[in-house]
Amino acid sequence: QKEVEQNSGPLSVPEGAIASLNCTYSDRGSQSFFWYRQYSGKSPELIMSIYSNGDKEDGRFTAQLNKASQYVSLLIRDSQPSDSATYLCAVRDAGGTSYGKLTFGQGTILTVHP
Amino acid sequence: KAGVTQTPRYLIKTRGQQVTLSCSPISGHRSVSWYQQTPGQGLQFLFEYFSETQRNKGNFPGRFSGRQFSNSRSEMNVSTLELGDSALYLCASSWGGEIQEFFGPGTRLTVL
């Protein structure tokens, strides 16, 4: 059973701080990694994708991938109350069985307090 | 560009009934995937369609089925509904099912 584990949370950070969200995955064949944000009552919204080892930055968001450690993280700099949401880590394998199939972690609830 | 649309947004059914949910992908996207989201199990993959063919399937019973039309629109059907089928059903579309996916707003199904 391929698994994706996220730090359980909930995570609470003050406004302006850095929020760090972590995710590990069990399948070494995993090739694509995504972070989704889901507000309460809404559907997941893609905020970052990363495919190779290292860092990828987009505005206040930085995704980090380490395939050797089977670890992917998301850093949110200058956290804002509007960042309060559930963050979902998703992983896709390589090969034919990967079509359309994302394996999700359980999510980490982030609260940014003023 | 319009996003993924799903209809209906809310449904209430009783046990034993069947239900059909619809999804229209982003224009130009040919892959449509379906997911079930529940508080206990999180987001779980149901199946994926590309060019009217099911290419991938998750671990759900045969009561869950789907299809895709030539315009890439997709439907999923759940027969003989059970209480445990109450969930948010999400549809996601992508170009070819191998890169990033974009989710629709979901259909909230309640089974009484």
**What is the tens place of the pLDDT at every residue in A78-106?**
999 999 999 999 998 766 566 668 899 99
Residue B1 has pLDDT above 70, yes or no: no
The rounded distance, in Å, linking the Cα atoms of A82 and A103 is 26
The rounded distance, in Å, linking the Cα atoms of B81 and A103 is 25
- Range list of β-strands (E), B10-112: 10-13, 19-24, 31-38, 42-50, 53-57, 64-68, 74-78, 87-94, 102-103, 107-111
Cα A72 to Cα A51, A68, A81, B34, B81: the distances in Å are 10, 11, 24, 24, 37
Q: Which residues are bridge partners to B93 per DSSP?
A: B32, B102
How many helices (H) and strands (E) chain A has is answered by: 0, 11
Instruction: Say if residue A9 is exposed, middle or buried (CB neighbours under 10 Å; 0-12, 13-18, 19+).
Output: middle
Closest Cα of chain A to B21: distance in Å? Answer: 16
Please answer yes or no on whether B50 and A99 come within 8 Å at the CB atom: yes
Please answer yes or no on whether B56 and A32 come within 8 Å at the CB atom: no
Query: What pLDDT, on the 0 to 100 scale, is given for residue A56?
Result: 96
Using alpha carbons only, what angle is made at residue B81 by residues B5 and A101, rounded to the nearest 5 degrees? 50
Chain A environment of B48 (Cβ under 8 Å): 99-101
Percentage of residues in chain B having pLDDT higher than 70: 97
Q: What is residue B71's DSSP assignment? A: T
Mean pLDDT of B81-99: 89
Residue B33 has pLDDT above 80, yes or no: yes
Please answer yes or no on whether A100 and B43 come within 8 Å at the CB atom: no
Minimal Cα distance from B5: which residue of A?
A43
Mean pLDDT of B44-64: 94
- The answer to whether A102 contacts chain B (CB < 8 Å) is yes
Q: Which stretch of A25-39, A54-68, A95-109, B69-83 has the lowest confidence by average pLDDT?
A: A95-109
Residue B2 has pLDDT above 90, yes or no: no
Question: Number of residue pairs across A and B with CB atoms under 8 Å?
Answer: 69
- Pairing, β B10-13 against β B107-111: parallel
- The answer to whether B60 contacts chain A (CB < 8 Å) is no
Q: Which residues are bridge partners to B35 per DSSP?
A: B45, B90
Closest Cα of chain B to A97: distance in Å? Answer: 6
| Token representation of residue A50 | 């990363």
Query: What pLDDT, on the 0 to 100 scale, is given for residue A94?
Result: 65
What lies within 8 Å, CB to CB, of A69 at 6+ separation is A24
Residue B38's nearest CA partner among B19, B62, B68, B60 is B60
